[in-house]
Structure formats: structure tokens, C-alpha cells
Amino acid sequence: MSHMYLNYMPFFPSQHVRQFPQYPQSEIWAEQVTKQPLYPHLKDKVLRKIAPFVTYGLNEAKATSYEHALQEVAAMTYLMGKGMDPKAAYLTVESWEVNEKFY
């Protein structure tokens, strides 16, 4: 089913972007590229799916750091994007930690 979205992919000039742009440049870049919302039918589903991880990350940041919390949440959601279920993604990333640090 995911292959059907390939027909709707907008053109992004990747040859001009060597890495993900950093804030505030990322906001300028996004404004230039997205004149209207991309894939609006996915918005609510995606935001609902990641909501528990956002909450987890905010709580994790209080106990560790924002950098560590973002790494955890990004890793978990990346694994989910690769097809892993949320619980397995959480347990996998947590298993990579020793004393709340990645080694």
C-alpha cells in the first residue's frame, strides 16, 4: 500500500540539501517548499500515533536531557517506521541504554 504514495510524492531538490537543514534555516526551507499541506489525510493519524512518544520524551527529558530524550523518541519512531510495533520499538531502544546513556 505504501508504494501508491510514490505517485503523489512532490519533487524536492535533494541535490541542494546535503543534510537536514538546521533551525532556523529549516523553517525557511519548509516555507519555500510547502505552499500547502502535504498529505493532509495522514496528519491526524500520524499525530495520534506519535502522541504517546511525545509525552514519553517530555517526561524523559526531565529525568535526563532533551538531547537524550529526542534521541530515544527519534530512534523509537524510526523503528516504528521500519515496521516494528510501538512496544517492541520502545523495548529495543531502552535495551540500548546503560544508566540512561547510549554506549
Q: Tell me the β-bridge partners of 102.
A: 97
pLDDT in tens, the chain (103 residues): 444 444 444 444 444 555 666 777 777 777 766 667 778 999 999 999 889 999 999 999 999 999 999 999 999 999 999 999 999 999 999 999 988 888 7
Note the pTM of the prediction, 2 decimals.
0.65
Going by C-alpha positions, the residue among 76, 94, 95 that lies closest to residue 86 is 76
As to burial, measured by CB atoms within 10 angstroms (0-12 exposed, 13-18 middle, 19+ buried), residue 84 is: middle
